[in-house]
Structure 1
Amino acid sequence: MTPRCSISPVLALLAFALPAAAGAQAYQCRPPAIRSVPQVVPDGPQRTMPVTGYTLALSWSPEFCRFRKESRAHRFQCSGDRGLFGLVVHGLWPEGPRGSWPQWCATPAKPTPAEIARQMCLTPSARLAARQWAKHGACMAKRPATYFRVTRILFGGLRLPDYDRISREDGLTAGRIRTAFAEANRGWSPADVGVKLNERGWLREIRLCYDKMFRPTRCDTRRFGAKDAAPARIWRGL
């Protein structure tokens, strides 16, 4: 039997304990109709192990879309036809002991087109949403609906800093990016916030570290990413 950490008992706790988001993300989104769920093929081995915590990975969409505005595969996220995005959910990932993580856990459950469509304003790619369930969610929950619901609750409880404004600051660093997030969210410290920069020093992703009960916890070295003093830049999509 595949070991999973049951996340269903903490759903109600999350819904009531997390603050309502303060509308920090000003971008708009109109979800599309999804007629079929993309097929997902595993790209690595199946790993089953106890779940010791979680990571909520938030991608900075303007940087992702910087060279993809004309891409048909990323039209919904990057064309601007249905709105623009700031931070979007790359995925909610279970963590395992000793810096490892479970992945590609066996499950007969598959998300429905309606479940994928409901995620599209958080994860603006049907293929990515389906992949996140197959690679990560199946190691956390029995049903895709539960996995996606937890993702929505976690994201909905965050207050997102105005990184568009912060991008204009002189001497911007990775430490400033993570500190801005911690200051906007009660209970978070900078040590709980990972910052991933690309090879050119632009913000690529923010990784939020949680314990087994979805409380903020210190990121390990793998998830923490760039050191505080690392120079950073944030692409505004202009």
Structure 2
Amino acid sequence: MFHAIRSVVSLGIFLLVALSIGSAAAQDRRQNAPGEFDFYVLSLSWSPSFCEAAQERGNSSRNQQMQCGGRPYAFVVHGLWPQYDRGFPNYCERPAPRLPRNIMTSMLDLMPAPGLIFNEWDKHGTCSGLGPRAYFETTRKARAGVKIPDEYIDLQTAKTVSPEAVEDAFIKVNPGLSSSAIAITCERNRLQEVRICMSKDLQFRACEEIDRRACRRDKIVMPPVRGG
């Protein structure tokens, strides 16, 4: 009996060690070293879906009010995220260097919520190896390098589409963008984000891991643009 118990305990210890080794192997050796990453993901959020979900939750924070009332937003920048080919870094400096308020306010046309901008700097910007101004200038440059299809700029009525149709629309108007460099994500039955992979010099590039996390629904809904 004693030998049997000891064998079970030994097996348990072995499995725990094996799991921890596997986890360490899956983690990039550069984990959270600022500036040490392989590519960026430019994440474009479909603002009407965000606002509809916030309304359903009864969430009325100042950030939600800024984004979901008044000015009509379609695609907005969620963030520019440094990535590894497998996995990603985050919160690479603790505490994060202070983000000056004037830089935050300069980004409100693309990212219409102060809390979002501060969070993106803390979580992702600190991993870029850039200072606050350079990081958000790079974010603006990345966004300027992506054309939004005309049919999504001022959507007045709800639209049911396939993720592939959204992908194809972006590929059609962005020369050099391929299906291996873009992923559509969804939340429940709504379009959530368009994620576009870019090299460090902001050229479109393939990203297998991002593509694997894409929406698998046949159809998704794009709620109409709000406000105005």
Tell whether the structures are fold-level matches, with TM greater than 0.5: yes
User: In structure 2, what is the equivalent of residue 232 of structure 1?
Assistant: 220
Which of 105, 127, 146 is the aligned partner of 2:92? Answer: 105
- Residues 183 and 191 of structure 1: CA distance in aligned 2, closer, same or farther (over 3 Å): same
- Report whether the alignment pairs 1:186 with 2:186: no
Q: 1:131 matched to which residue of 2? A: 119
Partner amino acid, structure 2, of 1:185: N
Kindly indicate whether the alpha-carbon contact (under 8 Å) linking 1:66 and 1:237 is maintained by their aligned counterparts in 2: no
Structure possessing the higher radius of gyration over alpha carbons: 2
Match 1:144 to one of 128, 132, 137: 132
Give the corresponding residue for 2:45: 59
Tell me by how many angstroms 1:223 deviates. 4.3
Q: Is the 8 A contact 1:63 1:237 kept in 2?
A: no
How is 1:55-94 mapped onto 2 (pairs within 5 angstroms)? Answer: 55-68=41-54, 71-73=60-62, 74-80=64-70, 83-94=71-82
Question: What is the identity, as a one-letter code, of the residue corresponding to 1:64?
Answer: F
Tell me the TM-score normalised to structure 1 length: 0.71
**Residues 176, 165 of structure 1: CA spacing in aligned structure 2 closer, same or farther, 3 A cutoff?**
farther
CA distance change for structure 1 residues 76 and 104 in 2, over 3 Å: closer, same or farther?
A: same
Q: Do 1:47 and 1:104's aligned partners in 2 also have CA atoms closer than 8 Å?
A: no
Number of equivalenced pairs? 186
Q: Which residue of 2 aligns with 1:114?
A: 102
- Corresponding residue number in structure 2 for 1:15: none
Instruction: Please name the residue that 2:198 is paired with.
Output: 210
Change (3 A) 1:185 1:214: same
Comparing both structures, which one devotes a greater share of its residues to strand?
2
Identity of aligned residues (%): 26
How far, CA to CA, are the matches of 1:75 and 1:168 in structure 2? Answer: 24
Q: 1:27 maps to what in 2?
A: none
Query: 1:165: Cα distance to partner?
Result: 7.6
Q: Which amino acid aligns with 1:53?
A: F
TM-score, structure 2 length as denominator?
0.74
Compute the RMSD of aligned alpha carbons: 2.3
| Amino acid of the structure 2 residue aligned with 1:75 | Q
Check the 8 A contact 1:209/1:216 in 2, yes or no: yes
1:21-74 deviation digits (Å, cap 9, x = unpaired)? xxxxxxxxxxxxxxxxxxxxxxxxx94243011100010001111144671321
Give the Cα separation in 2 of the matches to 1:196 and 1:102.
20
Distance (whole Å) between structure 1 residues aligned to residue 82 and residue 202 of structure 2 = 11
- The DSSP-based 3-state class of the residue aligned with 1:88 is strand
Choose between structure 1 and 2: higher helix proportion. Answer: 2
The answer to whether the Cα contact below 8 Å between 1:192 and 1:209 also exists between their aligned partners in 2 is yes
Quickly say closer, same or farther: Cα 1:125–1:223, change in 2 above 3 A: farther
